[in-house]
């Protein structure tokens, strides 16, 4: 029961983050981009930190064999490659514009719904392993979801939806995380090795998101001072994940 409470609470919180997108309307485009790049940098550190400090050590401990764990990590990377390649959707945290176009509204909602469903499954599996692992995975996803949801909201409004409809559909898409978590908890107790396999897959997903989607967005900023702040933000994200080892 404790695992269910932590898991459902986590995915409901993540779903509620979808409403944060309206914050994007409070800032002009230049200031919003500055804020988002700081949040993206912080998310990169959180995702890398959770993968290398928490998920991978736990994966090698549970699976025991280096080959099996490594193959699951690669599978996690390829899973998100397939999502982006064939659903025509990618993580993006920069407001849409003529210079920076986004997919159509429908495609964005479908892709985001699938992504959130997988997030829910990963969170559910992490909590089955242990509550501390579930907490660190949830925090890593939250750090990434905040800038992503701001970007997604901008896509929906730019695509012609009213503010109310954009908030509603973005929340419905985010709510697929709850469904993914419930399915993960239900099958996790019946399929042997399910949680052990999901840990390195989660790590692979996090490595792909941070390395393939987020870091390239930071390279658009070449000014030394802002690049330094990006580096500091990444280190802060890693530092938070390192500090969370104290609760394990």
Q: State whether residue 104 is helix, strand or coil.
A: coil
- CA-nearest of 60, 48, 24, 6 to 170 is 24
- CA-nearest of 113, 105, 110 to 160 is 105
Question: Residue ranges of the alpha helices (H) in 87-175?
Answer: 105-129, 131-158, 163-174
Cβ–Cβ under 8 Å, residues 196 and 59 = yes
What integer pLDDT is reported at residue 98 of this predicted model?
A: 46
Within 13 Å and on the Cβ side, how many CA atoms surround 46? 19
What integer pLDDT is reported at residue 101 of this predicted model?
A: 41
- C-alpha pair distances (Å), 58 with each of 4, 43, 153, 173, 199: 21, 21, 35, 30, 8
What integer pLDDT is reported at residue 26 of this predicted model?
A: 78
What integer pLDDT is reported at residue 21 of this predicted model?
A: 80
pTM over 0.75, yes/no: yes
Cβ–Cβ under 8 Å, residues 177 and 123 = yes
In whole angstroms, give the CA distance from residue 129 to residue 132: 9
Q: State whether residue 88 is helix, strand or coil.
A: coil
Per-residue pLDDT of the chain (248 residues; tens, 9 = 90+): 889 999 999 999 999 998 888 887 777 777 777 788 888 899 999 999 999 999 999 999 888 778 889 999 999 999 888 887 776 555 554 554 444 444 556 777 777 888 899 999 999 999 998 899 999 999 999 998 888 888 777 777 777 788 888 889 889 989 999 999 999 999 887 887 888 889 999 999 999 989 988 898 888 777 888 889 899 999 999 999 999 888 65
In whole angstroms, give the CA distance from residue 37 to residue 147: 8
- CA-nearest of 154, 152, 146 to 173 is 152
**Containing H/E element for 3?**
helix 2-16
């Amino acid at each position: 029961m404790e695992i269910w409470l932590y898991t459902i609470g986590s995915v409901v919180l993540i779903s509620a983050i979808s409403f944060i997108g309206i914050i994007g309307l409070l800032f002009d485009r230049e200031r919003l981009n500055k804020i988002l790049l700081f949040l993206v940098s912080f998310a990169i550190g959180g995702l890398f930190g959770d993968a290398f400090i928490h998920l991978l050590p736990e994966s090698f401990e549970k699976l025991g064999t280096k080959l099996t764990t490594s193959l699951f990590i690669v599978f996690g990377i390829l899973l998100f490659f397939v999502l982006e390649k064939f659903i025509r959707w990618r993580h993006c945290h920069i407001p849409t514009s003529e210079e920076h176009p986004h997919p159509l509204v429908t495609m964005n909602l479908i892709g985001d719904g699938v992504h959130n469903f997988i997030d829910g499954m990963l969170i559910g599996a992490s909590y089955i392993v242990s509550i501390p692992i579930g907490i660190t995975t949830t925090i890593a996803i939250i750090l990434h979801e905040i800038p992503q949801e701001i970007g997604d909201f901008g896509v929906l409004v730019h695509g012609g939806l009213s503010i109310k409809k954009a908030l509603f559909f973005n929340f419905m898409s985010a709510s697929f995380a709850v469904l993914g978590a419930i399915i993960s908890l239900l099958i996790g107790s019946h399929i042997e090795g399910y949680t052990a396999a999901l840990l390195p897959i989660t790590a692979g997903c996090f490595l792909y998101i941070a390395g393939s989607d987020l870091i390239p967005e930071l390279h658009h900023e070449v000014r030394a001072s802002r690049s330094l702040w990006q580096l500091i933000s990444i280190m802060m994200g890693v530092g938070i994940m390192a500090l969370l080892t104290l609760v394990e």
